[in-house]
Structure 1
Amino acid sequence: MHAHASCKNEVRVTATDYDSFATAYSAENEKGLFNAYYARPAVLHLAGDVSGRRILDAGCGSGPLAAALHAKGAAVTGFDVSAAMVDLARQRLGEDADLHVADLAAPLPFADAEFDDVVASLVLHYLKDWAGPLSELRRVLKPGGRLIISVNHPAAYAIVKPEADYFAVTQYSEDYVFDGQTVWLTFWHRPLHAMADAFAAAGFRITAISEPPPAADTPAELLPPGMEGRSAFICFLFFVLEAT
């Protein structure tokens, strides 16, 4: 998915402004390695049996994870900062789906202890500050509820940018191509200890850390080069947190 393209048809966007390329991004996620065969199956595996559970999909995008959780029997509420993404999610999930345009960096429009679980897949790495968002996610979770997170793996940043300070919270940008349009996305690198500190400060304890392999049905042509003899690759890091 990542590419170093020319400057033609290139757009620079804020970290969460997906409106201008929502349809192309959603189409990529339907079939791309990182979402369809890696992040989404990993989160579903960590979630396990969700039948009858009320789940909030924080940063739901066009709704593929919400749809998968719904298919497994969960009652799913979703929100995204991009109105275009929420429109796509409503097309996928139905007009009566419980979907909202909301910003994880602001107070959320949900009641205290409203959800059994929250999933926040590939969302937090867009945010410099985790204190407010994690506190809000803790607030809307029932005590003992789970927060399932996937973020850019901090080791990947260290590998790609060996000259950078791994231990500093640092902004960086990468270019991606969606349907022929080059889009620059801005992320925040956060070292592992800073993630753990933020979780604890917000009232969570880590119950699982996962670095999973891609899904067993991943087409061989989608796998990155150099996978021969290896079961996994460094890409995202997954956590299951318990609300204490």
Structure 2
Amino acid sequence: MAQQTNYDDFAQAYSDENESSLLNAYYERPAMLELAGDVSGRRILDIGCGSGPLAAALLERGAQVEGFDSSVAMINLAQRRLGERVRLSVARLGEDLPYAANTFDDAVASLVFHYLPTWNAALTEVHRVLKPGGRLMLSVNHPLLYPWNHPGKDYFKPTLYTDEFTFKGQRAELTYWHHPLHVMADAFLKAGFHIERIWEPPFSKDAPEEILPENLRERDAFLSFLFFELRT
């Protein structure tokens, strides 16, 4: 049976991979920053901040950032990167968060919601800590990936599954929950969010050719993650 992903087991290897990989450095992170737009002076919560690359980029753009992650090892790496500029906490999405209501202008959640079996409690808590009119920008595994990579599986059935990866030579298993798109949308609306944008972005034109698979070198986009911009 698939187990919950424990990033403490491979935090450094994942962080190192994240710095320069096609999926993270030239696809997911640039898309999240484009969704965020002008963040100067905005107070932003980085949900599942990992080792802090997105928080660092938001800081460079003038935001005030706080972050949390369930992995102690990841928070230690983020603290090393960000120093005293960012208040970091060990906390778990889906449980009570250590922030007062109406605290943040925005929240970002990169590739974290797909670890949850249900989203309602997590979204309600994020909604609580956002100011009225605040935004939540999140990315998750594209729901088509599960039946695509696991032929014969039912797209419409929420399902727990595990995929294997190698990060800087270290093997790791990531365990996800697959949710069809309508289940995601229903959870957003039930938590009180308005859906402002659903996006399947291109990857960055800055991606070095040597990290692009041959079949992507004549294309602008590929199927991997799905992005949402929500507002309270």
Pair 1:16–1:110, CA change in 2 (3 A)? farther
Pairing 1:184-203 to 2, within 5 Å after superposition: 184-203=173-192
**Which residue does 2:225 correspond to in 1?**
236
- AA of the residue aligned to 2:225: F
Q: Does 1:167 align with 2:156?
A: yes
Query: What is the DSSP-based 3-state SS (H/G/I as helix, E as strand, rest coil) of the residue aligned with 1:240?
Result: strand
Q: Offset at 1:13?
A: 8.6
| Cα distance in 2 between the residues matched to 1:54 and 1:148 | 14
Q: CA deviation at 1:221?
A: 2.2
Q: Tell me the amino acid that sits aligned with residue 51 of structure 1.
A: S
Equivalent residue number for residue 134 of structure 2: 145
1:15-53 CA-partner distances (Å, limit 9, x unpaired): 341112111110000011111111000000010000000
Q: 2:79 is matched with which residue?
A: 90
- Structure 1 counterpart of 2:92: 103
From the superposition, tell whether residues 13 and 82 of structure 1 become closer, same or farther in structure 2 (CA, over 3 Å): farther
State TM-score, norm by structure 1: 0.92
Aligned to 1:126: 115
Q: Match of 2:25?
A: 36
**2:35 aligned with 1:46:** yes
Provide the residue aligned with 1:222 in structure 2.
211
Local SS of the residue matching 2:186: helix
Query: Which residue, 6, 13, 24 being the options, matches 1:24?
Result: 13
Greater than 4 Å deviation, 4+ residue runs:
none
Paired residue type of 1:56: L
| Alignment partners' CA distance in 2, 1:91 and 1:71 | 16
CA deviation profile, 1:33-81 (whole Å, cap 9, x unmatched): 1111110000000100000000000000000000000100000000000
| Distance of 1:27 and 1:15 partners within structure 2 | 22
SS in structure 2 opposite 1:154?
A: coil
**Residue 33 of structure 1 contacts residue 223 of structure 1 at CA under 8 Å; is this kept in 2?**
yes
| Structure 1 counterpart of 2:52 | 63
1:205 Cα shift?
1.0
Secondary structure of 2:9's match? helix
Taking structure 2 as the reference length, the TM-score comes to 0.96
Output the amino acid matched with 2:212: L
Structure 1, unmatched stretches of 5+, are 1-11
The equivalent of 1:206 in structure 2 is: 195
User: Where does the alignment leave 5 or more consecutive residues of structure 2 unmatched?
Assistant: none
Give 2:143's aligned residue.
154
SS in 1 for 2:182: helix
Partner Cα separation in structure 2 for residue 224 and residue 157 of structure 1 = 21
CA–CA separation in structure 1 for the residues paired with 2:138 and 2:66: 16
Once the two structures are TM-superposed, the CA of residue 178 in structure 1 deviates from its matched residue by: 1.9
Same amino acid, percent of matched pairs: 59
Alpha-carbon contact 1:13-1:183 (below 8 Å) kept: no
Aligned 8 A contact 1:115 1:145 in 2: yes
**Are the counterparts in 2 of residues 13 and 185 from structure 1 also a CA contact under 8 Å?**
no
